[in-house]
Amino acid sequence: MGGSNDWEVTNNEKRTLVLLGRTGNGKSATGNSILGSKEFNSKCSSNGVTSACELKTTRLDNGLIIDVIDTPGLFDFTGEPDVIGKEIVKCMELAHYS
């Protein structure tokens, strides 16, 4: 270690990741893998376990900060369209202001 390589980043570099997809296809599990801990509730269910967008932050060994945003299955949601719309807006705000 100690040498420079192509993946090196400066300490204040940051990425925002939004996890999108159908319910049950592993968004929360993927988020937990990236965070390295069980932050998001992930389990086998055809009903979404995640009901609202949630942001968690982690810092990798190389200093890169990653904001991970988990979302409910926004496009197979059985809720009211305006509720879904508000959740999509909330998710975009989380990504924008993080």
Least Å distance, CB 15 to Mg ion, is 20
Is residue 71 a contact residue for Mg ion (CB under 5 A)?
no
Query: Which of residues 5 and 78 has its CB atom nearest to Mg ion in the complex?
Result: 78
Among 10, 44, 61, 80, binds ligand GDP (CB under 6 A): 44
The alpha carbon dihedral of 1, 35, 56, 80 has a sign of: positive
Is residue 17 a contact residue for ligand GDP (CB under 6 A)?
no
What Rg do the C-alpha atoms of the chain give, in angstroms?
15
The per-type count for the chain, helices as H runs and strands as E runs, is 2, 3
Binding to Mg ion in span 10-39, by CB under 5 A = 27-28
Is residue 34 a contact residue for ligand GDP (CB under 6 A)?
no
Bridge partner list, 57: 67
Q: Which residue has the tokens 């968004």?
A: 27
